């Protein structure tokens, strides 16, 4: 408490309900920023399965997400969380029955889901992504390759200059184009052309002049694989630099393998094997169109950005 009897810290949980994963971050916060990370985990929920084609979240997915969120609610209760901030991204945005889904989750779990616009998702992903690198450069770029969309954001340590959300995602590309496994060469060519044609060149031309950061599962998995880590180790993943040649080498290693063969790599989390190739192709297309030769991996992203947004809301100031 401060001298006026007002609380000076609180515990907040951010739940990022993505197309492929659901992530939970619990942090203790003060007006100056995050003081302690209490808990950080993710599950592969595949909420966006079939949404690209049907624009509907099926009832089985309703129940699967309910189960995961109830587990997260129990975890939050165990940490005495003061506030849960749950946000839905691309798959929830795209689903025609999103209101039914949100109402179902609210009724079953008590968790209220906020649907983020593409612009808001980009903004808070950027804030989370740069948060551990603010002293490393004057200009930054962040790419977040999700299951349903990809966010590309440029800015400095305090302001965003440009942001775009593109309907390119690892689940979306897999379901739409890379349907066989391993994919046929024609499908790889089609995917490459589709990806590069959808990345707005005018939005990425300045990327090589920035401190380039990549967040989310595709990037963190690549960093773990390139180091041949025995398991996923966040401390060795965040800050790791991947070159375009590194990314191309791992693509060459995986493109002729089935999901069951890809899943044998210890760095690849369960549920990611069948969509990883599509995520790598999106990253390759981004680096090709922008001319980017290397990218720094961050283990942070939207969930951290939502925590920073909550700091601003609760304490009426921008955290450092």
Domain of residue 196, CATH code: 3.30.420.150
Domain boundary among 118, 143, 171: 118
Residues 143 and 290 occupy one common structural domain: yes
The boundaries of the domain holding residue 216 are 132-297
The pLDDT assigned to 218 comes to 93
Residues 230 and 188 occupy one common structural domain: yes
Cα separation of the two ends of the chain:
21
The residues, ordered by sequence, that sit 6+ positions from 201 with a Cβ below 8 Å of its Cβ are 289
Question: Does the pTM of the predicted model rise above 0.85?
Answer: no
Domain boundary among 89, 118, 147: 118
Per-residue model confidence as pLDDT tens digits over 178-210: 988 899 999 999 999 999 999 999 889 889 999
The pLDDT assigned to 2 comes to 54
* pLDDT above 90 for 122: no
Residues 187 and 100 occupy one common structural domain: no
Over residues 233-261, the mean pLDDT reads 93
234 within domain boundaries = yes
Residues 236 and 270 occupy one common structural domain: yes
* Residue (of 247, 251, 253) closest to 293 by Cα position: 247
Per-residue model confidence as pLDDT tens digits over 264-274: 998 888 778 88
Specify the 3-state DSSP secondary structure of 194. helix
The residues, ordered by sequence, that sit 6+ positions from 284 with a Cβ below 8 Å of its Cβ are 192, 195, 244, 247, 248, 251
Residues 58 and 100 occupy one common structural domain: yes
2 within domain boundaries = no
The pLDDT assigned to 309 comes to 92
Question: Of 9-18, 157-166, 303-312, which gets the smallest average pLDDT?
Answer: 157-166
Residues 93 and 193 occupy one common structural domain: no
26 within domain boundaries = yes
* pLDDT above 70 for 53: no
Q: Which two tokens stand for residue 208?
A: 């090589």
92 within domain boundaries = yes
Residues 146 and 284 occupy one common structural domain: yes
Residues 143 and 79 occupy one common structural domain: no
Domain of residue 100, CATH code: 3.30.420.40
Per-residue model confidence as pLDDT tens digits over 299-318: 888 999 999 999 988 887 66
The residues, ordered by sequence, that sit 6+ positions from 21 with a Cβ below 8 Å of its Cβ are 42, 43, 44, 45, 147, 217
Q: Find the length of the chain.
A: 320
Over residues 54-67, the mean pLDDT reads 86
Residues 97 and 148 occupy one common structural domain: no
> CA distances (Å), 181 to each of 51, 54, 177, in order?
20, 22, 11
214 within domain boundaries = yes
240 within domain boundaries = yes
Q: How confident is the model at residue 319 (pLDDT cuts 50, 70, 90)?
A: low
Residues 169 and 255 occupy one common structural domain: yes
316 within domain boundaries = no
Between β-strands 113-115 and 33-44, what pairing exists: parallel, antiparallel or unpaired?
A: unpaired
Cβ–Cβ under 8 Å, residues 303 and 16: yes
- Total count of domains within the chain: 2
Over residues 27-51, the mean pLDDT reads 85
124 within domain boundaries = no
The pLDDT assigned to 4 comes to 45
Residues 144 and 293 occupy one common structural domain: yes
Per-residue model confidence as pLDDT tens digits over 279-290: 999 999 999 999
Domain boundary among 118, 150, 165: 118
Residues 181 and 102 occupy one common structural domain: no
């Amino acid at each position: 408490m401060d001298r006026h009897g007002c609380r000076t810290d609180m515990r907040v949980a951010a739940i990022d309900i993505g197309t492929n994963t659901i992530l939970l971050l619990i942090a203790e916060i003060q007006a100056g920023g995050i003081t302690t990370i209490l808990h950080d985990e993710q599950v592969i929920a595949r909420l966006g399965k079939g949404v690209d084609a049907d624009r509907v979240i099926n009832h089985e997915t309703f129940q699967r997400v309910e189960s995961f969120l109830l587990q997260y609610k129990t975890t939050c209760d165990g940490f005495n969380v003061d506030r849960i901030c749950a946000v839905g991204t691309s798959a929830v945005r795209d689903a025609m029955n999103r209101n039914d889904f949100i109402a179902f989750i609210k009724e079953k779990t008590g968790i209220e889901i906020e649907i983020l616009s593409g612009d808001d998702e980009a903004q808070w992903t950027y804030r989370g992504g740069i948060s551990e690198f603010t002293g490393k450069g004057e200009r930054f770029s962040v790419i977040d390759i999700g299951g349903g969309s990809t966010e590309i954001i440029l800015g400095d340590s305090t302001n965003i200059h440009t942001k775009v959300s593109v309907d390119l995602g690892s689940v979306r590309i897999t379901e739409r184009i890379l349907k066989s496994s391993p994919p046929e060469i024609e499908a790889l060519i089609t995917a490459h052309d589709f990806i590069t044609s959808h990345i707005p060149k005018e939005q990425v031309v300045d990327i090589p002049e920035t401190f380039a950061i990549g967040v989310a599962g595709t990037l963190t998995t690549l960093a773990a694989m390139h180091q041949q880590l025995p398991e996923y180790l966040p401390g060795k993943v965040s800050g790791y630099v991947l070159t375009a040649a590194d990314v191309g080498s791992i693509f060459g290693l995986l493109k002729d393998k089935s999901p069951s063969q890809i899943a044998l790599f210890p760095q690849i989390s369960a549920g990611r094997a069948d969509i990883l190739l599509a995520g790598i192709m999106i990253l390759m297309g981004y680096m090709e169109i922008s001319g980017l030769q290397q990218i720094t991996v961050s283990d942070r992203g939207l969930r951290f950005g939502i925590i920073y947004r909550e700091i601003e809301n609760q304490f009426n100031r921008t955290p450092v």
